[in-house]
Structure 1
């Protein structure tokens, strides 16, 4: 073959790997025997395939650019040199083994990033609302200190694989209608790493990592809710070969509160007052969620608030106390929604019964007929009907 390989593919001498692969793909689509059965096209396809095999391999390309034989003294370019079926697949489908050499071939690295880890943590409502720091215990893989992550026993080291001679791959050559097809596969002796460990570390059995329990402090930001995940970078599993650690995710579950129910950034609670207090009006001292926080020195955090109930307050009446809900992750704060429930006395002594009868007489309610309307609206609706006048 006397034609310049760069000219065969239609690229300049400074073309990068991407440009070479694209050029080969264009040529192969026109000249491949499955597409173009013309004998001349088949010969051109062999030449183009040989050009791609040389220029896509950094070592062979360097040898060619120096004017040497890229095949190390083997057959010349024009005398039936085989082409790699793997190269064709890579050119068409963009294949390539991760961690390998240029072009997707070569030994895989033993050092790989570790997996992410996930644990679940329950916090109380106040901690979720205002933020809290918690210590957690995690069981994850950490780097083996005995071998510093390389998997070999102290005083030894990995050695090149005798089967693949450090390449991480072995070739299988077959003949087909396409010519000589060379298929590259991971070396079965070293699993594609290119090296073997004759004397594995006794602590990690050659993996480069061991499991350990650690104690970490996680800072939970204000405003989290059930399902929120807090990310701790590089606190997950250390990778094989002592590779970088993945991330640790802490998934939050907010415990139920005795008083408040959360709905987004709003808090809801129900306050039950006696019938007399609802009728006459009263002032309530309500606790806020801040009352659950541990008191800090010189703290002026408001832990309660007054709520004025006017005379004649009805069951189901809602009062919105703005800015006393849950802080949002992105700022702002929700409201506290207070619903009033009126308690009707169920056990009266003689004097109380007598006074209520007098009140009923004064209000002409000795024989109330009730009001007929739409279907009752639950307990609060029935209470309103009972005390309507």
Structure 2
């Protein structure tokens, strides 16, 4: 069985996708290891699958036809995504893992390395690159995080120059064909590599791939095509968001350098500290001060929540530091999956001053419990230590 994918499936190079799929089904039935008596059925079946995978994928088939079988196999062996002229990275990852976030052509990324080794002018076939992502911060209150909110904010970002329309040169500039690439925007060289004599096609450095040189640059943007400008945006902050999470506004980042889509704006959210509540994920914690009699006899009190006041029954005999759980009174969970809980920790407050009636009552209480006390040595301090 020949190594050529078309020969493996028994189709011509101009076969349609439907014809390739039909041929694959026929071959797969013939050489499936579970039904075939051929001693090499398993290996042949793998080759049939690989041929179908490549030839039914439009991008991969174009790369295969352009490069030929041997060079295509070499590209995949070395980890290149040949379907994108080498710009796809390694191991199936999208984008150039060494190319950074931006949209420029600066730097020797994996796509450049592929072009140097396998040639083929990959840059000329690339889709326009997405613009660079931008990042900013936004601080909100705990109430905002509880209810969700809509916030306006201002950032400074690159915008298309109004004077030159993003071209980098004024309309009055004289245009001439680049003598380096003769207007093609690319230059081609042939060099010897460990894989043999190959052709290298790269973007023309003199005209930056434009194919044209201009007599002057725009005075407003200095030839960049972009200027930094303040813009005001509005973002929807969902209920339940936590500090440290990031919101993404698609298409609100930097513009593309070659006509592609804008990058995104990433918004890092932080939440102000609250005077009453402490947040732990979707749960809230609140310290509730109560008096000694309330702890002893029990009471009904008002507990604040982020959704208003809530009645809470303090059971008789409550100890200082005891914590009670109020289910569903915490923060809303993202995407509407209920609420966390509110944990109320009771703290018994000892009065700093007592009138005669209060002092007498506490003395009687202590004596009824069998305590021997001497008021002159600090009865209040003893009570304070006890609780």
Fold shared per TM-score above 0.5 = yes
Equivalence for 1:334: 340
Instruction: Answer yes or no: is the 8 Å Cα contact 2:119–2:198 preserved in 1.
Output: no
Give TM-score, length-normalised by structure 2: 0.64
**Structure 1 length normalisation: TM-score?**
0.64
Q: 1:314 to 1:157 in 2, by over 3 A?
A: farther
1:120 corresponds in structure 2 to 137
1:209, 1:242 within 8 Å by CA — same for their partners in 2?
Answer: no
Q: Does the 8 A contact of 1:152 with 1:158 survive in 2?
A: no
Alignment CA distance shift 1:184-1:309 (3 Å) = closer
Contact kept, 8 Å, 1:231 with 1:247, in 2: the verdict is: yes
| Cα deviations by residue, 1:162-186 (Å, 9 ceiling, x for unpaired) | 2211223334456899997655444
Alignment partner of 1:17 out of 45, 62, 66 = 62
- CA 1:342 to 1:158, structure 2 compared with 1: closer, same or farther past 3 Å? farther
* Residue segments in structure 2 that go unaligned for 5+ positions in a row: 1-5, 16-60, 76-84, 86-112, 375-381
In the aligned structure 1, how far is the partner of 2:245 from the partner of 2:350?
42
The offset of 1:236, in angstroms, is: 1.0
- Find the counterpart in structure 2 of residue 137 from structure 1: 154
Residues 1:357 and 2:374 aligned together = no
- 1:315 deviates by 1.3
CA change 1:214–1:366 in 2 (3 A) is same
Partner of 1:256: 273
Cα contact 2:190–2:200 (8 A) shared by 1: yes
Worse-superposed segment, 190-199 or 231-240: 190-199
Q: 1:183 to 1:324 in 2, by over 3 A?
A: closer
CA contact (8 A) 1:143 1:242 kept: no
Unaligned runs of 5+ in 1: 1-5, 30-55, 57-88, 291-302, 369-381
Partner of 1:45: none
> Structure 1 residues 172 and 125 mapped into 2: Cα distance closer, same or farther (>3 Å)?
same
Cα distance between partner residues in 2 of 1:177 and 1:265: 59
CA 1:243–1:155 in 2, change beyond 3 Å: closer, same or farther? farther
> Which SS does the other structure have where 2:334 is aligned?
coil
With over 3 angstroms needed to count, the CA separation of the structure-2 counterparts of 1:327 and 1:95, relative to structure 1, is: farther
Secondary structure, in 3 states, of the residue corresponding to 1:272?
A: strand
Note the C-alpha offset of 1:27.
9.5
Question: Secondary structure of 2:243's partner?
Answer: coil
Following superposition, the deviation at residue 235 of structure 1 comes to: 0.8
Question: Residue 343 of structure 1 corresponds to which residue in structure 2?
Answer: 349
Cα displacement (A) at 1:144: 1.6
Q: Secondary structure at the match of 1:320?
A: strand
Are 1:312 and 2:358 matched, yes or no? no
Deviation of 1:225 (Å): 0.5
Aligned with residue 161 of structure 1, among 173, 178, 186 = 178
Which residue number in structure 1 is paired with residue 230 of structure 2?
Answer: 213
CA RMSD of aligned residues (A): 3.7
Larger Rg: 1
> Could you say if the C-alpha distance between residues 146 and 242 of structure 1 is closer, same or farther in structure 2, counting changes exceeding 3 Å?
farther
What is the aligned length? 290
